[in-house]
Homo-oligomer: A and B are copies of this chain.
Amino acid sequence: MDAAAALEAFSRHGGRLAAARAAFPAAPQPWLDLSTGINPRPYPAPAASQAARARLPDPEALLALEAAAARAFDAPAERVTAVPGSEAAIRLLPDVLGVRRVAVAADTYGGHAEAWRAAGAEILDQPQRADAWVVVNPNNPDGRTVASDELVASASRRWTIVDEAFVETDPQLSVAARAGDGRLIVLRSFGKFYGLAGLRLGFVVADDRVTAGLRARLGDWPLSADALAAGQAAYPDTAWAERTRRRLGRDAARLDRLLVRAGLTPVGGTSLFRLVRAPDARATFLRLARAGILCRPFDDSQLLRFGLPGRPADWARLAAALSGDL
């Protein structure tokens, strides 16, 4: 793969380490993956027991997890449906809602428009003429926010799907407590803030009709035993969440200082990822990739997104690569 092809491949989604190894075979191993917005210091979740891995998950365990998540979201338990990753919900919603004109901003997580387009929907820029409006709040990659009142008002006129994949770092932005009122639907992700994206766990908070439609399409055992065990342990642990929010805030500020020192200009993001404007983002992407560090390029050739390094050695490696010492 040449550099241009590599850039295009990495502009769709983050996290593609195997593709990075193939595109940059001379880069030092192991790669430092900063191409996603996943907390690099995961919740210390228990693994499922051997017995739980062996049997079909019990429906009661699913209900208990949904109740624990509902308390964490401050939402009614009967409106919360667990899904195997919020991506699964994003893909199912076009069929569940059955509408055909959907507003999705161009500069947001690409999976939404992909899912609606695959379902044959027309994608609009603005919600006024749309039957559904998709808002990532705070937005990925630029961190811009939409006020709760605007989302709630929109939901009285059309389906309003609020993807709160990164809201745990700014919980006051969440409208999960009001999801299911009007046509307000909230998506939540477990893997990002809790740092366990490999477990595939997310949630939809919505009214009875959407909840029933999702459950019919997911079947009786949507989650793995490990997702159930981790979610049931993590959501009640509010002390860990509070500590983690503070730490991520400090780490995001530290990352900004590093990026600024390297001539990159932070233009947005959340505590889990920072978006920067770079004089030549492609050259910076390639220079970091050759040093075994994967960040996230975009079609806009001036932008790059960085997740947080985790271990002290990872911070040092990024600092050295950015300053040109590698």
Q: Which residues of A are interface residues toward B (Cβ below 8 A)?
A: 13-19, 33, 36, 38, 40, 42, 47-48, 50, 52-61, 84-85, 87-88, 90-92, 95, 111, 114-115, 118-119, 191, 195-200, 216-227
Contacts and interface: CB of A to CB of B under 8 A. Distances in A.
A48 B226 CA distance: 10
Given A87-B219, A91-B219, A54 B197 contact: yes
A88 B198 CA distance: 18
A326 to B, nearest CB: 22
Residue with the highest number of chain B CB atoms closer than 10 Å, among A40, A191, A198, A200: A198
B198 A55 contact: yes
Contact of A219 (B19, B115, B220): B115
Nearest to A198: B225
Q: Which 7 residue pairs are nearest across A and B when measured between Cβ atoms?
A: A198-B225, A18-B60, A118-B216, A87-B219, A15-B56, A53-B198, A56-B197
Nearest to A310: B54
B219 A88 contact: yes
Contact of A198 (B48, B59, B84): B48
A219 B111 contact: yes
B227 A85 contact: no
Residue with the highest number of chain B CB atoms closer than 10 Å, among A40, A85, A90, A216: A85
Contact of A220 (B84, B87, B222): B87
Contacts of A217: 91-92, 95, 118
Contact of A224 (B40, B54, B58, B224): B224
27 contacts: A13-B56, A14-B56, A15-B58, A16-B58, A18-B59, A19-B59, A38-B54, A38-B56, A40-B54, A42-B54, A55-B197, A55-B198, A57-B198, A57-B200, A85-B221, A88-B218, A88-B219, A88-B222, A91-B219, A92-B217, A95-B95, A95-B217, A197-B221, A198-B224, A200-B224, A224-B226, A224-B227
